[in-house]
Amino acid sequence: MTVAIPTEPVVVDDISLEAAEAAISDAIERRDASDLTVLGFGEISVAIGWPTAAPSVVLKRTVVYRDRADCERHMKSVADYVERLGQRGAAVVPTSVHVIERGDGRFAGYAAQPVVPKSLLAETVFKTDEPRSDHPLLTAVRDYAVQHVTPELSVDMQIPNFAWDGERLVLLDITTPIVFTTDGEYDFEVTPEIFALLPAPMRRMALREVMRILHIYQSVPDALSFVVSLLYRIDQQRWAPAAAENFAAELTEPVDLDKAEAEHRRLVKVLPFLARSSMAERWWSTKVRRRPYDFFITDSFSGELL
């Protein structure tokens, strides 16, 4: 049987979403995701296969809001982002957005996507194939960046965010819209519910770091250099020289491998620090304020729950 990247949207109802939300909330509270089919953790989101025993849909849970209107506005921004990418010709896995009411009267946002066979995940290809500069997946990544990384609309180009079928590179990660105004300002609202991930004194520093990374994706050379840096994050630094050589075809200056590795070392310091800060906020929220903490906290490199 031939495997393929799905091209049709999935159908998911509120009953399934409510059950998934209950399972995710329970896992966050217990700090144990072993009862979930976790496909990946983002900084504020989690992607699971649902139902757990035999996943037929990928559910990406974003942020929990007190007001439905706020949650709907957040998810509309995600839907608008997907639509804009499609209008530019970017291949994006079919995505629908949903808002469901939780048992506590708050609201959670979800993006639903079809399940992509693991063998077609770009990260799988990097793990199984031998590096070479003319590998067609490297060329597909390079060309996707050239076509779709722009000052006003862009994509998170790191390798785990893509599927590849040998010919077509398809974006999977759409939960953080990378959109800017014509004046270069980030054009997605970072809400108080998102900031709740971290203690108040750390939020300005975290926002600066996020903005620094997002602005990298306004420039093709910067984005491709960052792709090389992030190969270290998935333990595929063996591909770095081949990627740099391939990407040089579209760059006036080649990727500096020493700088790419230095950026990885910087992230090794920054991201665990932010995770520890999140752990402090979780303790304060749950033990002192007696309020729920609605995020998984993970090691950004191993994926281990903290």
pLDDT of 165 reads 96
Confidence of residue 258 (pLDDT cuts 50, 70, 90): very high
Domain boundaries, the chain: 14-113, 118-288
- Rounded mean pLDDT of the chain? 95
Give the 3-state secondary structure of residue 11.
coil
| Whether the Cβ atoms of residue 125 and residue 166 lie closer than 8 Å to each other | no
Backbone φ, ψ for residue 153 (5° rounding):
-145, 130
CA atoms within 13 A on the CB side of 300: 20
pLDDT of 299 reads 87
- What's the mean pLDDT in 101-116? 97
- What's the mean pLDDT in 180-205? 94
- What's the mean pLDDT in 223-229? 98
- The residue with greater pLDDT, 183 or 301, is 183
- What's the mean pLDDT in 220-233? 97
Q: Output the DSSP codes for 128-191.
A: HSPP-TT-HHHHHHHHHHHHH--SSEE----GGGEEE-SS-EEE---SS-EEB-TTS-B-S---
Query: pTM of whole model > 0.75?
Result: yes
Instruction: Using the predicted structure, report yes or no on whether residue 250 has a pLDDT greater than 90.
Output: yes
pLDDT of 269 reads 94
Instruction: Using the predicted structure, report yes or no on whether residue 111 has a pLDDT greater than 90.
Output: yes
Q: What dihedral angle (degrees, nearest 10) is formed by the CA atoms of 226, 227, 233, 235?
A: -140
Comparing 35-39, 239-243, 302-306, the range with the smallest average pLDDT is: 302-306
- What's the mean pLDDT in 277-295? 95
Class of the domain covering 14-113: alpha beta
Give me the long-range contacts of 211-217 (CB less than 8 A, separation at least 24): 211/186, 214/178, 214/186, 217/149, 217/154, 217/155, 217/156, 217/157, 217/178
**Whole-angstrom distance, CA of residue 13 vs CA of residue 225:** 41
**Whole-angstrom distance, CA of residue 141 vs CA of residue 1:** 27
Rg (CA), the chain: 19
**Whole-angstrom distance, CA of residue 29 vs CA of residue 26:** 5
Percentage of the residues of the chain whose pLDDT score is greater than 90: 94
Backbone φ, ψ for residue 150 (5° rounding):
-135, 165
pLDDT of 183 reads 93
Give residue-wise pLDDT tens across range 63-73. Answer: 999 999 999 99
Beta-carbon count within 10 A of 5 CB: 21
Instruction: Using the predicted structure, report yes or no on whether residue 304 has a pLDDT greater than 90.
Output: no
Give residue-wise pLDDT tens across range 15-45. Answer: 999 999 999 999 999 999 999 999 988 877 8
Instruction: Using the predicted structure, report yes or no on whether residue 134 has a pLDDT greater than 90.
Output: yes
pLDDT of 1 reads 60
Task: Tell me whether strands 46-50 and 37-41 are parallel, antiparallel or unpaired.
Answer: antiparallel
pLDDT of 44 reads 78
Using the CB atoms, write b or e for 11-26: b if 16+ within 10 Å: ebeeebbeebbebbbe
Confidence of residue 3 (pLDDT cuts 50, 70, 90): confident
